[in-house]
Structure 1
Amino acid sequence: MNTEERRAAAARIEEAEAAREDLREALDAAGVKLPSLRLDVPSLVSPMSQPLIDLGRCNLATTRRLTAALRQRRAELVAKVRAANKQSTSRPV
C-alpha cells in the first residue's frame, strides 16, 4: 500500500469513527445504548470497500427503546409534513 492509499484508508476510518460517534450521541439522546456499536474491522482493511459500522446485538429492552425512538421521530416528521401541506393548501394562489 502506497502513501496515497494509506492516507485514503486513514480518511475513511476517521469518517467512519465520526459517523459512529454521531450515531452513538443520537442514540444516547433518544435513551438508547447499543453496547456493541463499533467499526467493522474487516471492512476497514479492505481497500475496495467502504467502512461499515457494526451495530451489534442488543437485548429486548434496548430493541424496544430503539423502536420507540424511531417511531416517535417518524410521528413528529409526519405531523410537520401534514402541517406544512395543510398550510400550503390553505393559501390563496
Structure 2
Amino acid sequence: MRTGSEPVTARSALRMRLWLSVWGLLWAIFGTVAFTLVGRPGWAIACGALWLVITVDLSMILKHLREGPHYQPGPGIPPYRPPEERRP
C-alpha cells in the first residue's frame, strides 16, 4: 500500500546482494571441495546444499537486475487511501 511517504530517490540493494552472493558462492564451493577431500561427507553435503541455495538466489538477483527499474508513480499521483477497518 502506498502512503505517499516513499523516498523519492530510493535505491535497491541488488548490486550489494549480487556481490555478497558471489562471495558466499565462492565459500560454498571451497567448503564443498575441502570437506570432500578431507572426508567429511556431512559437511560437504551441507555446503553443497548451501551452494544450491546461493545459486538459486543469484539467478533471481540477476533476473531482477536485467528487468530494470519498474514503474513508480510520480509526485503528481496522490497516495492510496488506507483501507477502512470494518469490525462487526
- Report if TM-score (shorter chain) is over 0.5: no
Q: Please state which band the TM-score falls in when normalised by the shorter chain.
A: 0.3 to 0.5
Relative to its length, the structure with more helix (as a share) is 1
Normalised TM-score (structure 2):
0.37
- Larger Rg, first or second structure (1 or 2): 2
More RCO (CA 8 Å, sep 6+): 2
Normalised TM-score (structure 1):
0.35
